[in-house]
Structure formats: structure tokens, C-alpha cells
Structure 1
């Protein structure tokens, strides 16, 4: 178990990748602080983790609110006395529109939740990590920052800001023992995508086959498997990595 006894906060623990990361981190031995805006959903998830033999607590948090970010970090300290890892996975996806006609309010919200929210959370945990002289921050980003896709402009802009935040903090925290890295996810097979594919009706299988053929690994990567890269970056196995951007998208970023 590569995260044994590490205390890890995971934001954006919604259906799909967020929940997969929480379950997987707990299975790898982490004490997980499950966080998202939906209190009922995260309490169910934390309960499932505990029933499976893991350790987890649920703490609601809207990362656009500084006081809630600080309260999330405090809850981790109150429960386990330290914070070893932070996974910034909270996001807001604006409408699928071209930037030439996009709602500016939605763009600002995406930036506030994805990029500025990650900074709020980093500021909430860095004092503890500095005192410990150790810690790992992993920012969950997207293939769309490398490979522009129609309608993804607003979301990708915010994630690109998150990518730069990783590099900037990695340098600013030099010598502190705190590492900051990025995992760039692409198409992932999980609850959200399964729901979308099912909505295609008779065209579902054709879509699945076409998308799989376009990805170099030959299939749409399962979200639970993509999450393993995040555990690696959180773990001591990545002790010499900071400021790195790791593509976890089946090679889709290099495909034409």
C-alpha cells in the first residue's frame, strides 16, 4: 500500500474520477478526507470506504470560499493531526461553446473554482506541510490543455491556469519538502461517460469503438486505473518529482 498512513484531502469527490480516487487512495492505505459540495454524497462515499475497512471522513467544501477551504484543512488536522497530501480535483465545466460567444460569467466561475480554488486549498494546507517539512499536492488537469477540442475552451483555459500554478508553486516551495505535480486526464470510462454513451442509443457501440480506436492504448482508460497515477504522485515513490506534468490519457495527447 503506497499511501499507508498518509492523510490525504481529495476535493471534487463527485461521481467518476473523484470517487474513484477516494476509494483507491483508501485502498492504498490513506486516511482520506472526502470533500465536495454535496454533503449527502460525500457522507455516503466516506461510509462505504469505512465499511470496506478503510479510514475516511466527509467534509463539505465549496473551494470558491476561502473560509470553507481553511475549515477543510482544519478538519483533517483535528482528526489525524497532519496533512500529507492534497488532490485538487474540484471543477466547474462551463457550457460547451466557442470562446467567441462564451458567457464571461461562466469563464470566470471556471477559473475561480478550478484554478483559484486550487490556490485557496494549497494556501490552507501549506503551513502544515511546511511545519512537517513534507507534503504532496497533485492537481488534476486535462488533455484539453494540450489538445484543443471544440467547446472545451473555457474549461481548458481554467485547467491551463492550474497547470501553471503547479509549476509556479513547485519553484516557490523549493527546499520546503513540499512537492507539486499535475496529472493530465483524458477520456475516462466511468459513471459520467457511461451515462453519456448510453444516451446515444443505437449509436453507443459505434461511438465506443471509434473513440477506443483513436486512443493509442486501444481503449478508453478506466477512471479507477487513471487514479493510480495520482496515488503515485502522492506517494514517496515520486519523492524526486515536482513541477512535473504527467499525461494519464492512454497516449491520446500525442494522437493526431
Structure 2
């Protein structure tokens, strides 16, 4: 039980990657705090968790929401061992020349607000609890931070910012808090939404037909089995656990071999 006697907060955990990681952490013995901006998602998860857990609606871009979550956590547990950040918004992989200047301006503000500012505020507000427990902060970046065409320019820029933020926060929070990241690639049934700025907030990556998504994945990845959200759980759980005594300021790139792309060979 990797997370026995751990109290772990997962943001953006109402669905998709965050929910899969939360379920994995619970299976590893943690008491989990599941937060999401969507109240309906939180309400629908009540039967999947129990009295040792805490389900809270929270907008990570709002200081008041994060402070309210912190108060609820202190009241129930009086401590916090790890924070896992899993919230994010995609940009539809749209080239910047395919949108208006106004849309680009709005898209930048929306994605950096959620994908970057949300992590900064979360880190700032929960740092004192994590210091008290000699705990861990684990953030989600992406393979888009390492190679082109993992998203559009704005999404890629946010994920690159998170990758750098992991290193800076590890430096600032040492030695009390270990700060690391995970850079996932494909996720089966991904619930990552598009941005409001481009009127794509009602679309999810999982809306892509399953066969088409699988065919695309298999054409560019060395590993051929499409992972689901829980398949990434072990990476997050280890980095969040007290058993991690050797890593800080690092990002685990979980790319299914995607970054070892064929250059001279047509197929493998």
C-alpha cells in the first residue's frame, strides 16, 4: 500500500486523468480529497468514495475557493501529505494563424489562468501544510512540452511553463517539500476539454471516434496499448508518497515511446 496513512489532494479530479489518479491513490491506501470546478461531477462521484474521503467543488483559479478547500481539509484531517495537480484545458490543436487575434488573446488568458496560475495558487496556498508533513507536490505537464504538435502553441506554452515551474518550486520549497511532475501522452477516454475562447468548451478529446484515436495513437507510438487514466496512477502515487526520497525537480515523461519517433523508417 504505497499511500497507506497518506492524505492526498487531487485537483481537477472530477473526471479523466484526475479521477483515474484519485482512484489509484485510494486503492493504494490514501484518504483522498477530490476537487473539481464542476459541482455536478463531484456530486456524481459520491458512491465511488467513502467517509474517509472528501469531495469538494473548487475553482483552482479562485483564491477564496482554494482557501475554503484548505479549511475543510484541516478540519477533517488536520494535515495534508501530498497535492496532485491534474486540472487542465486543451486548445484544440489549432494553429494560431487559424484564429483571430482576439481569439488568440482570449485563449492565452484562459489557458494560462487554468493550466499555470491554478498550479501556482494551489502551491502557494497549500505549501505550509505540505511543509509540516514533509510532503509532496506533483504537477501535470505533457509530452507537448517536449515536442511539437502535441497541441497548439498556447497549450504547448502552458505545458512548457509547468515543466519549468516544477523545477523552480522544487528549488524554492526544498528541503521540506518534494516537487515533481508527470508528462502524460495519450489517455484513453480523455475528458480534457477545449477552451471557451474558441467555443470548444463543450467538446472533449474523448469525442474523437475511438477507432480513429486508437489508429492515430498506434501509428506514432512504440507501445501499442492505449493507456487509460489509472495506468498513470502509479507514477503519481510514487511521487506523492513518503517512499520517494530521491527525486525532486524532475518530470517523468510517460510517452509510450512517442518521442522516439520514426525519422528514416516509414513504420516499425
Q: Which runs of structure 2 are paired with 1:116-127 in the superposition (5 Å)?
A: 116-127=117-128
Higher relative contact order (CA 8 A, sep 6+): 2
CA pair 197-237 structure 1, distance change in 2 beyond 3 A: farther
Give the TM-score normalised by structure 1.
Answer: 0.88
Query: What secondary structure is seen at the aligned counterpart in 1 of 2:253?
Result: strand
Q: Secondary structure at the match of 1:90?
A: coil
1:96 and 1:151 in contact (8 A); partners too: yes
**Would you tell me which structure has more helix in proportion to its own residues?**
1
Partner of 2:53 in structure 1? 56
What's the Cα RMSD here? 1.9
- In the TM superposition, residue 219 of structure 1 has moved relative to its aligned partner by 2.2
Aligned to 1:174: 174
Deviations along 1:71-94, one digit per CA (max 9) or x if unpaired, are 212211111110101011111223
Structure 2 partner of 1:110: 111
Paired residue secondary structure (2:96): coil
**8 Å Cα contact 1:70/1:124 also seen in 2:** yes
Contact 1:226 1:249 in 2 (8 A): no
**Where do 5+ consecutive residues of structure 2 fail to align?**
192-204, 263-268
Q: CA deviation digits over 1:143-167, x for unaligned, max 9?
A: 1111111752211211211111110
User: What SS does the corresponding residue of 2:73 show, helix, strand or coil?
Assistant: helix
| In 1: Cα distance, 2:214 partner to 2:66 partner | 38
1:69 aligns with 2:66: yes
In the alignment, is residue 232 of structure 1 matched against residue 238 of structure 2? yes
Unaligned runs of 5+ in 1: 199-203
What are the Cα deviations for residues 102-125 of structure 1, in whole angstroms up to 9, with x where unaligned? 521111111111111101001111
**Residues 39-78 of structure 1 deviation map (CA, whole Å, 9 limit, x = unaligned):** 221133243122xxx7311111111111111221221111
**Is 1:33–2:33 an aligned residue pair?**
yes
CA distance in 2, matches of 1:91, 1:241: 24
- Look up the SS of the partner of 1:59 in the other structure: strand
- The equivalent residue for 1:201 is none
Aligned equivalent of 1:188: 187
Query: Match of 1:23?
Result: 23
Any residues of structure 2 matched to 1:80-91 within 5 Å, and which? 80-91=77-88
State the alpha-carbon separation in 2 of the partners of residues 150 and 187 from structure 1.
10
2:202 match: none
Aligned partner of 2:195 in structure 1 is none
Q: State how many pairs are aligned.
A: 245
Q: TM-score, with normalisation over the residues of structure 2?
A: 0.85
Further displaced range: 226-235 or 146-155: 146-155
Residue 217 of structure 1 aligns to a residue whose secondary structure is coil
Change (3 A) 1:220 1:117: same
1:94 aligns to 2:91 (yes or no):
yes
